[in-house]
A = this chain, B = another copy of it.
Amino acid sequence: MSMRRTTIKDVAEAAGVGVATVSRVLSGGSASPETRERVLTVATQLDYRPSALGRNLRQRRSGGIGLLVPDVTDSFYGRLADGVLACARSAGEPVILGATGDDPEREAEMVGMLLEQGVDRMIAIPSGSGEIWEPTLRTGLTAVFAHRVPAGRGDVPAVLADDRAGVRTAVDYLTGLGHRRIAYLGGPGQEQRVAAFRETLGPLVDEELLVFARGSRDSAYAAAAGLLQHRPDLTAVLAGGNLLGEAAVLAARELDLRVPRDLSLIMFDDVPWAELCAPPLTVIAQPAQDIGYRAAELVLRGGARRPRGVLLPTELVVRGSCAPRGTSRSPR
Contact = CB atoms under 8 A, between A and B. Distances in A.
A232 interface: no
A277 B271 CA distance: 13
Given A72-B78, A73-B75, A94 B95 contact: no
Interface in A234-286: 246, 249-250, 271-273, 275-278
B95 A217 contact: no
Contacts of A62: 52-53
Interface in A38-64: 49-54, 56-57, 60, 62-64
Nearest to A92: B113
A20 interface: no
Contact of A112 (B49, B74, B78, B114): B49
B52 A81 contact: no
A2 interface: yes
Interface stretch (A11-19, A96-104, A122-130, A178-186): A96-104
A2 to B, nearest CB: 5
A81 B75 contact: no
User: By CB atoms of chain B within 10 A, which of A57, A73, A246 has the most?
Assistant: A73
Copies assembled: 2
A325 to B, nearest CB: 24
A23 interface: no
Interface residues of A, number: 56
A89 B96 CA distance: 12
A151 B200 CA distance: 57
Contact of A118 (B51, B86, B89, B271): B51
Contact of A276 (B95, B96, B246): B246
A97 B95 contact: yes
B82 A72 contact: yes
A140 interface: yes
A134 to B, nearest CB: 14
Contacts of A10: none
Contacts of A169: none
13 contacts: A2-B139, A5-B60, A52-B118, A72-B82, A73-B82, A94-B96, A95-B96, A96-B96, A96-B97, A97-B97, A217-B272, A250-B275, A273-B277
